[in-house]
Amino acid sequence: MPQNTTPVIQDMKGSGLAWKVCMATLCRLALNTARRFAYPFAPALSRGMGVPLTAVTSIIAVNQSTAILGMFFGPLADRLGYRLMMLSGLGMLVLGMFAGGFLPFYGVVLTALFLAGLGKSVFDPAIQAYISQRVPFHRRGLFIGLIEFSWAGSTLLGIPLAGLLIEYMGWRSPFFVMGGVGLIGMVALNILLPKDEKKTIRHQSASGLWSAWTRLCQERAALGALGFGFFASAANDNLFVVYGAWLEKSFSLSIVALGLGTSVIGIAELSGEGLTAAISDRLGLKRSVASGMSLCISSYVALPLLEQTLSLSLCGLFFIFLTYEFTIVSALSLCTELLPGLRATMMSGFLAAAGVGRVIGALMGGPVWLAGGILMTGAVSAVMSGLGLACLIWGLRGWQRMERDEGE
């Protein structure tokens, strides 16, 4: 059936898409904060539960693994509807956060953060697919960029607020607040989002989990995007897990001063998301991803040369995370159109590949840095980013956006 853009435009103007995007962004802020807040506050959590710090880092590892599990929910979203999966993801967040707040025991908190991470992995592909189904491709970068503000927002707003809550109201208080925000978001989205069309659900129910993934694996463009997500994320985490140790060793920074580095990264992420929303559609999403990754590779190579002063080093980190965030968010926008009939499957696959890449990058980051310092870290990240770019170029060679959306 030919793609009809008239309902898309009408939905954007007449059915409150802006309000839906704003509420979805608020929900993602809670999900992202729940996913990330254990990193800086691991000591406070360990003291509150009376467990070793290593026990909390195990919780963080379990939380990260949910990105891989999310790949199984993408086909379900394509079959059962995006609204249902968004509400399910928020339900996992609410259940987990309230459980962790009311029952402050290690096993419960581990389960709580696992549910929060899984909720994010269920919610994200669904909202990305929902928006891409209603927004024309030439405006996709703008809307995907807007909802991605919640990622930087978790660093600049969510985590500092969690710190204030822990300082003045105890370590359990962020669980109640995030659970409350998730509950409000559930109610709001339940009201704002129309129920999934039964016709779409019946059509997609013929395509099961394995057939959806078989279809994805047959598409070169999709496979290239998965390779890109894996290598780009591994390269970034290879640096991310050691940048604090690098700054501390090179410039003898205190813990408070190291917080400046986190702020720089948060501002860079926000700037990258804003840049995506502002220019990626005009530049073209394929060109945005390729040029952004090329600049990111150059930044990895240049970072060791900037070790002369703290200011230059922070500028180098800023530019790396700016170009990386611009590239990844542009890639997310592009991926929404690679499999139009299985959008949530494609997005969950991309996020799962990126999640595996982050795990690999985090595991190799320490040994790489110990072996050769920031010079080797920058070189390895540049090479892995180059491999990611090569995967994307291979996958997109000859790819043209489909004028007909299968299954829609």
Lowest mean pLDDT among 165-169, 173-177, 325-329: 165-169
Contact 66, 188 (CB under 8 A): no
At residue 18 the predicted structure's pLDDT band, cuts being 50, 70 and 90, is: confident
Question: For residue 71, how many other CB atoms are within 10 A of its CB?
Answer: 23
What is the pLDDT, as a whole number, of residue 5?
41
Mean pLDDT of 377-392: 97
Mean pLDDT of 372-389: 96
The CATH class for the domain spanning 1-205 reads: mainly alpha
Distance CA 47, CA 102 (A): 17
Tokens of residue 80, six digits: 């059962």
| 3-class DSSP assignment, residue 404 | coil
Could you please state the CATH topology (level 3) that the domain comprising 207-408 is classified under. Growth Hormone; Chain: A; (1.20.1250)
Residue in the structure block whose two tokens are 């109201």:
169
What is the pLDDT, as a whole number, of residue 67?
81
Q: Of all residues in the chain, what percent carry a pLDDT higher than 70?
A: 89
Give ranges for CATH 1.20.1250.20 in the chain.
1-205, 207-408
Distances in Å between the Cα of 229 and the Cα atoms of 91, 138, 272 are 28, 22, 17
DSSP for 360-378, written as a single string: HHHHHHHHHHHHHHHHHHH
Tokens of residue 308, six digits: 């002369």
Q: Whole-prediction pTM value? A: 0.81
Query: pLDDT tens, 121-148?
Result: 999 999 988 998 888 888 888 888 888 8
Q: Which amino acid is at 351?
A: L
Q: Measuring CA to CA, which residue among 301, 239, 92 is closest to residue 178? A: 92
Query: pLDDT tens, 365-377?
Result: 889 988 999 999 9
